Structures are given as structure tokens and as C-alpha cells.
């Protein structure tokens, strides 16, 4: 078994890379996704993108049901957003930026397409937290983080906060 996956935090280049499409959905990938899921549940995240564990490939997992104690893992491989509408706002956080939360504007509803673990395409309508989580994770695949979507002032405040956090950790 390969070594444990680790969550990459802000400052590492792979988080800013545009992920490339998955070409082969095989046992190795399914095993990797299972390890990502174990990690996500362990740290109680709502979602985790492949580049957050150091692999710049286009897939992510999410589970917005964790709070009900009835886990339902969603896997999106080579995801696409086919349609989007409405607006919503939610206080987001990110496993790659621990301790920071801020309100971000997102589309309220999405129509998405992706491949499942067997390589079969599926389409889904998402709204509420599912739509928000999808957009957050989809952004990761583009090398975009939720702090990029803050106003310039808020981003400036974030940068100062992050700098302070980083200096405290040293």
C-alpha cells in the first residue's frame, strides 16, 4: 500500500495548477479515490479535489450529508458545468486553508455532467449546498481557491491573517 495521502495547503504550487483530464478510470484510480474519501471523512471535510492531495487530475469527491450521519459519497471525474443559474451566498472554508472562513457568492443551481467510478457518464441537477460544494471543488481543478473570489479588501485582510498564521506556526 502506498503512503498516506496528505492535504496540501496554500502556498504549494500544485493547488494553483490547472488539472488535466483523467484518461483511464481503473482500479488504481478507484483505490486512490477511496483513500481520498477516507481522508476527507477523517478530517470532516465536505469535499476534496485531487490536486488538494497533490495530484493535478480532474476529479473530486464530496459528501454534504455527513452531518446527518448518513454518508453518501459523490464522485465526479472529468466534471463539466453544463448550465448554471441564480445566486447564493455561503460561508465557505477549505481544507487547504485551515481556519479561514468567508462568504462567497456562487450560482444557486447547476446542471452538471461527469463520469462515475466505472467511467459511465451521468448528469445531475444540483442546488443548495451540493451546488456550492461542487463549484468550490470545480474551482480547485482550475487552480482557483475561494479566497480568489473575495473582494480586494477582504483578500488583503486574508493575506495579512494568513501571514500571521504562518509566522505563528514557525
Residues 72-111 that bind Zn ion (CB under 5 A): 94
**Chain-centroid distance, C-alpha 40:** 10
* DSSP code string of 72-114: --EEEEEEEEEEEE--EEEEE--TTSTT--EEEEE-SEEEEEE
Nearer Cβ to Zn ion (25/63): 63
Give the nearest residue (CB) to Zn ion: 94
Nearer Cβ to Zn ion (36/94): 94
* DSSP code string of 34-62: HHHHHHHHHTT-SEEEGGGGT--BSEEEE
Gap between the Cα atoms of 156 and 146, Å rounded: 14
Active site residues: 137
Residue 1: CB minimum distance to Zn ion, A: 26
Q: How many residues sit in the footprint of Zn ion (CB under 5 A)?
A: 1
Per CB under 5 A, does 133 bind Zn ion?
Answer: no
Residue 94: CB minimum distance to Zn ion, A: 3
Residue 131: CB minimum distance to Zn ion, A: 15
Binding site for Zn ion (CB under 5 A): 94
Amino acid at each position: 500500500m502506498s503512503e498516506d495521502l496528505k492535504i496540501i495547503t496554500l502556498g504549494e504550487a500544485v493547488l494553483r495548477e490547472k488539472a488535466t483530464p483523467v484518461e483511464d478510470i481503473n482500479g488504481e484510480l478507484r483505490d486512490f479515490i477511496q483513500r481520498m474519501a477516507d481522508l476527507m471523512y477523517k478530517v470532516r471535510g465536505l469535499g476534496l479535489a485531487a490536486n488538494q492531495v497533490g495530484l493535478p487530475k480532474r476529479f473530486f469527491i464530496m459528501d454534504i450529508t455527513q452531518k446527518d450521519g448518513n454518508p453518501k459519497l459523490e464522485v465526479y471525474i472529468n466534471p463539466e458545468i453544463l448550465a448554471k443559474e441564480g445566486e447564493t451566498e455561503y460561508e465557505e472554508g477549505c481544507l487547504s486553508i485551515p481556519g479561514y472562513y468567508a462568504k462567497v457568492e456562487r450560482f444557486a443551481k447547476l446542471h452538471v455532467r461527469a463520469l462515475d467510478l466505472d467511467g459511465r457518464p451521468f448528469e445531475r441537477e444540483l442546488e443548495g449546498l451540493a451546488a456550492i460544494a461542487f463549484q468550490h471543488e470545480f474551482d480547485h481543478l482550475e487552480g482557483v481557491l475561494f479566497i480568489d473570489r473575495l473582494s480586494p479588501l477582504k483578500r488583503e485582510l486574508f493575506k495579512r491573517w494568513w501571514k500571521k498564521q504562518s509566522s505563528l506556526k514557525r
